[in-house]
Amino acid sequence: MGDRGQDTLRRDKKIGPYLVGTILGKGGFGDVWLAIEVATGKKVAVKKMSLENQSRAMVEQEVSALRRCGIHPNVGTLIEVLWVKPDAENRNTEAYLVMELATGGGMFERLVSEGAYTEKLASAMMQQVARAIYHLHSRGIIHRDIKPENIVFQTAEPGSEVQVIDFGTA
């Protein structure tokens, strides 16, 4: 991955089998962290969804949309959902969405840091986004918030494939 946030916001918190490290990005309803599965060394992205800011129904709606997505190269893939009960009453107060990791950062940030890119690259990215949308629609899912902030690059390379993320309004 890039070196964004290497020294800041590190908290090395354990969530189930994962050790949570640096922040990858901030989203409307939760932050996304880099994490590592301790037993295997597999790196993943973990989105924390607090039930303080949103209802359980909203979280479940997002999870069910993600599950229905299945596996597509241009859609962020859900691995599992962890419910954490940090309070004494033992209620589920935090959900963690464990996703396949995309290490290239967000399209929004890349637009800001690199300015314009070539028509060839733009058309390749748009084709991938269109494929993702086609796949989602074929499964009865409407994303409803396609924008650069919700598109991430699989790797840091200029021609990296892109993935649509954030099913919070799907």
Assess 165 for contact with ligand PIT (CB under 6 A).
Answer: yes
The DSSP 8-state label assigned to residue 40 in this structure reads T
Please count the residues of this chain forming the interface with ligand PIT, following the rule CB under 6 A. Answer: 19
Determine the interface stretch with ligand PIT among 2-10, 81-89, 141-149, 161-169 (rule: CB under 6 A).
Answer: 161-169
Q: Phi/psi of residue 131, each to 5°?
A: -65, -40
Annotated catalytic residue within 3, 87, 145, 166: 145
Based on CB atoms, which residue is closest to ligand PIT, 43 or 131? Answer: 43
Question: What is the rounded CA–CA span in Å between residue 54 and residue 19?
Answer: 25
Residue closer to ligand PIT by CB (options 21, 106) is 106
Q: Between residue 21 and residue 40, which ones bind ligand PIT under the rule CB under 6 A?
A: 24-25, 27, 32
Q: Which amino acid is at 150?
A: N
In our burial notation (b when 16+ CB lie closer than 10 A, e otherwise), range 113-146 reads eeeeeeeeeeeebeebbebbbebbeeeebebeeb
Residues 126-145 that bind ligand PIT (CB under 6 A): none
Measured from the CB atom, the residue of 67 and 89 that comes closer to ligand PIT is 67
98 close to 80: Cβ distance less than 8 angstroms? yes
| x-marked contacts with ligand PIT along 83-122 as a string, rule CB under 6 A | --------------x-x-xx---x----------------
Mark out the alpha helices in the chain (DSSP H runs). Answer: 56-69, 107-114, 119-138
Beta bridge partners of 95: 49, 83
3 is catalytic: no
Closest to ligand PIT by CB, 102 vs 141, is 102
For position 75 contacting ligand PIT by CB under 6 A, the verdict is: no
Task: State the alpha helices, DSSP H only, in 7-118.
Answer: 56-69, 107-114
Residues that are catalytic: 145
Residues that bind ligand PIT (CB under 6 A): 24-25, 27, 32, 45, 47, 62, 66, 76, 97, 99, 101-102, 106, 152, 165-168
